[in-house]
Structure 1
């Protein structure tokens, strides 16, 4: 696409800079795909619905991934329309016709969760994994929790600036509390250089490379045993599924998970009905 379109994307990404690092990375990736997909003679001002349909039909990715990309492009157009950089939106009407493929949320059973924890020798990674399984936080939220956000008396953790910039509380049980205090002793040994609750082995806030190393470790020690790739997001699904199995109601689970749309939460309840 032309230089004017590239400059507009830069302006849009600066506008979005207050969003979470993960969201911003996804937005950058999506906009780069569209900038490089279309010819230099095209711009966001003269893209047509036919151009968007062509992308959907030709671009090599899963149906759900392509829908995700088009949704992100729609957000860009809504921003550009609102701030009067562009008039019109060739994405919106086509997007309304797209329905993602439904798929089951992948998760670990209670036995698999227990087996996973037993497989982890690394003390830090053991506590990290238990934390994901017992709180259901997103990986970006895990990275951003501060030491002062933990209340051992109330057994709560304040999650600031979750998805959609929404704050909320999550809860932990006695077992998690014991292991969090164990982690605090490990944390002191690292000579903390950041106020975050969870730190890497250099005492700094956990970054993308540390998360990648952690995920690789989980899959080395256990992933192959269950024939699935273990990630913090699967552990989040595991938490949600466990809550439903124990009888938690839909609204409460929605609040704990930080879902904006209750339909997202209801997927876990649909699975229980099928069982």
Structure 2
């Protein structure tokens, strides 16, 4: 069997048994096609150290490839070869050949400042009654609907830390308004619960669905958020309306859904929430992933200490 012939079998295994997301499957397929694009070799040829070495060295030597891309490609290759060995398509696992380390430059997550979040989500007492009462009983324009959807998506993501892909999969029946919690299906089909702090968000979700019923005659329980045509809001749609809404609210930086997730994590850590609880809320399999946010929290602490300046307070004490 040729390597290219084994790829569909591997992808089907990942789809059927590992229940991996469509995004992960697309990434695996693309990476493996690149690996096999320049050669038609049999599976046992993977054990030839020169094959893997030559391909990975070409990736590492390419100035146009980002370290993160190379790291992902090598990780895909490792998963694929490990599966081949487990399914007995190859006789051994080339551990030494695949022990390649790609170091990524340290990058702090980009989170939004509190002042920016106030512009986006209008976290203020006067807005606690509900969502967008100025719209009346019906949202009359596509733009108004986009704004309403962006506003609710921003609030839910900032308060719960859910990923945008997770948000598009939430159904009305996943929300327990009494307990103020949402059941979320995350990466690797792992289920978890997230919570919103008060009934304000619950009220806004209910009002949003009321608007959807009036606008689109929506009675479906298949999804929570709608696009301007009354269909399920996709990730692409949410990214666009959130970006446009942020620009309209005069936020200078380009706002993405993942920035809102970062913001949720840093806000909780700065408020003193234990990192293990933040890990559970975000659905991180490893706490190492969550620990990157502690650097942001430390930066916040450093700013506060500089502003307070205890030395001057003591020197000026009379």
TM-score with structure 1 setting the length: 0.86
Separation in structure 1 between the aligned mates of residue 114 and residue 184 of structure 2, nearest angstrom: 25
Instruction: Provide runs of 4+ in structure 1 moved above 6 Å.
Output: none
1:98 aligned counterpart, secondary structure: coil
Shift in alpha-carbon separation, 1:214–1:45, aligned structure 2, 3 A = farther
Shift in alpha-carbon separation, 1:44–1:55, aligned structure 2, 3 A = farther
Is 1:173–2:174 an aligned residue pair? no
- Report what 1:76 is aligned to: 80
Q: Which runs of 5+ in 1 are unaligned?
A: none
Separation in structure 2 between the aligned mates of residue 239 and residue 186 of structure 1, nearest angstrom: 27
Q: Which residue of 273, 281, 291 maps to 1:248?
A: 273
Verify the 8 A CA contact 1:116 1:222 in the aligned structure 2: yes
- Report what 1:199 is aligned to: 226
- Report what 1:28 is aligned to: 29
Shift in alpha-carbon separation, 1:78–1:16, aligned structure 2, 3 A = same
Separation in structure 2 between the aligned mates of residue 222 and residue 73 of structure 1, nearest angstrom: 44
Q: Which residue of 104, 113, 137 maps to 1:109?
A: 113
- Report what 2:11 is aligned to: 13
1:225 aligned counterpart, secondary structure: coil
Separation in structure 2 between the aligned mates of residue 59 and residue 65 of structure 1, nearest angstrom: 12
- Report what 2:188 is aligned to: 164
- Length, aligned pairs only: 267
- Report what 1:54 is aligned to: 58
Separation in structure 2 between the aligned mates of residue 147 and residue 180 of structure 1, nearest angstrom: 9
2:182 aligned counterpart, secondary structure: strand
- What displacement does 1:43 show? 5.0
1:158 aligned counterpart, secondary structure: strand
Root-mean-square deviation over aligned CA pairs:
2.5
Q: Deviations over 1:170-229 (max 9, x none)?
A: 001223222212222123233244512223233333334424533552464368712xx3
Q: Which runs of 5+ in 2 are unaligned?
A: 123-142, 303-318
Is 1:217–2:236 an aligned residue pair? no
Shift in alpha-carbon separation, 1:83–1:197, aligned structure 2, 3 A = same
Shift in alpha-carbon separation, 1:186–1:30, aligned structure 2, 3 A = farther
Separation in structure 1 between the aligned mates of residue 81 and residue 111 of structure 2, nearest angstrom: 35
